[in-house]
Amino acid sequence: MSKKSEKKVLLSGMQPSGALHLGNYEGALRNWVELQNTGDYEMFNCIVDWHALTSGFDETDKLVPRIYEMAADYIAAGLDPAKTTIFVQSHVKEHAELHLLLSMIVPIPWLERVPSYKDKTESLGLDSYGFLGYPILQTADIIIYRADVVPVGKDQLSHLELAREIVRRFHFLYGEVFPEPEALVTKFQILPGTDGKKMSKSYGNFIALGDGPDEIKKKVMSMFTDETKIHKTDRGHPDKCPVNIYRTIYDPEWTQKIADFCAAGDDSIGCVKCKKNLIRGLVDYFADFRARREELLADPAQIDNYLKDGAERARQRASETMVLVRKAIKMYKPEM
């Protein structure tokens, strides 16, 4: 068994359910890169393809291309495969074994009370065991690496608390094996969609990380701005305008003075001009990202090597955990 790292272990991941967009970047990916660069954590960043099947079970032909795109996005955004273990969930079978064992001890009412379960059951018609058991697999994903911390937003705290409850139940029955994973609550800029509503793939109101200059221009020029600012001389509300919000992040030429001019109805600042500046800012900001992403996707074998190496490193720690789990449960031949 390998020597335990002195660093805290961090686990996070995303579903390969479609193109990553600016909301994913600001809400998770940028933060992961910053955490990696601190050097404080042993990081495992997973592409959770089994989770994607809970709602995408009828479009599995899209799964592999999306995995390649997500791996390219991870790396192009700054996750370094030499520093961070990047891998595909289904390539580490121990996730499934631990999920099965945990499913034996988790009461069904615990799963039915998860807020998203009822909402999505009604809105999406999902009623499979896989969907009901999603939190158990999610817990297995975390504790198979004996993760100390999980970066989450405040809206995800309830999911992590259920994982902590499951760990406590396991410890009550079999003895301590896992740390209780702590939330590493992240602060991030919440970006509205191009229509001003919540950014969502299902709404089609997002700018994807892989969008090229032409697509960025098309989407930005169609963006909603301030519906009360009809003329240049009308007073604007820049704090509610998606274009202004995006410019504060991606346009190095943006200043508070620009927002003040907009709010005052200064005719030197118009919505079209703001959009053109945002287009330039986004194209320039993600230029290196797009170049690296295109390079990776043009050479799938390179991505395969990164994911294979990541899976091997992940399996090493996961297999060590399963030895401890089997021993705790007193299963036959725990050393297997």
Cα separation, 306 vs 191, in Å, equals 31
232 is catalytic: no
Q: How far is CA 246 from CA 16, 234, 259, in A?
A: 25, 21, 12
Active-site entry in 120, 240, 276, 327: 120
201 is catalytic: yes
105 CB neighbour count, 10 Å cutoff: 14
Active-site entry in 4, 154, 198, 308: 198
Query: Which residues on adjacent β-strands are paired with residue 184?
Result: 151
Active-site entry in 201, 240, 276, 327: 201
What DSSP string runs through 195-236? Answer: TSSB--TTTT---BTT--HHHHHHHHHT----TT--STTSPP
Please state the separation of Cα 239 from the chain's center in Å: 26
Cα separation, 14 vs 211, in Å, equals 19
Q: Where are the beta strands (DSSP E) in the chain?
A: 8-14, 41-47, 84-88, 149-152, 182-185
Q: Is 41 helix (H, G, I), strand (E, B) or coil?
A: strand
Amino acid identity for residue 17 in this structure: S
Please give the backbone phi and psi of residue 77, each rounded to the nearest 5 degrees, phi first: -75, -15
Query: Which residues on adjacent β-strands are paired with residue 11?
Result: 44
Give the dihedral of Cα atoms 68, 70, 75, 80; nearest 10 deg: -100
Which residues are known to be catalytic?
A: 120, 198, 201
